Amino acid sequence: MSGGAVASLTTTAVIVGADLAAGHDGQAEMVLRIRYPNGAVGDVVLDAEIGFALMRHCDIESLDGLAGQSWRKILEGVRSCTT
């Protein structure tokens, strides 16, 4: 990994993976794995509507395309659902 890539990981959280899971109500949910600036990885769970908005906002058609995207795209996807 180049020095620039390491620097970018330390300044912003990024999506490192995504999966679909069944929610408690039986509806599909998107589970994102986020790497935070300190190197920790945690999960963020989105309902289907927000998940699809996130994918549209990132202009991707599969979950694989989310890897490397800024966590800020999640917020922008949420905003697009509420406007």
Q: What is the DSSP string of 20-37?
A: EEE-TTS-EEEEEEEE-T
The mean pLDDT of 41-52, rounded to a whole number, is 90
74 has a pLDDT exceeding 80 = no
Task: Output the pTM of the full model.
Answer: 0.75
pLDDT of residue 66: 93
Contact 21, 53 (CB under 8 A): no
Nearest to 48 by CA among 8, 20, 80: 20
pLDDT cut 70: percent of the chain above it: 78
Write down the domain spans for the chain: 3-82
11 has a pLDDT exceeding 90 = no
Instruction: Read off the pLDDT band of 79 (50, 70, 90).
Output: low
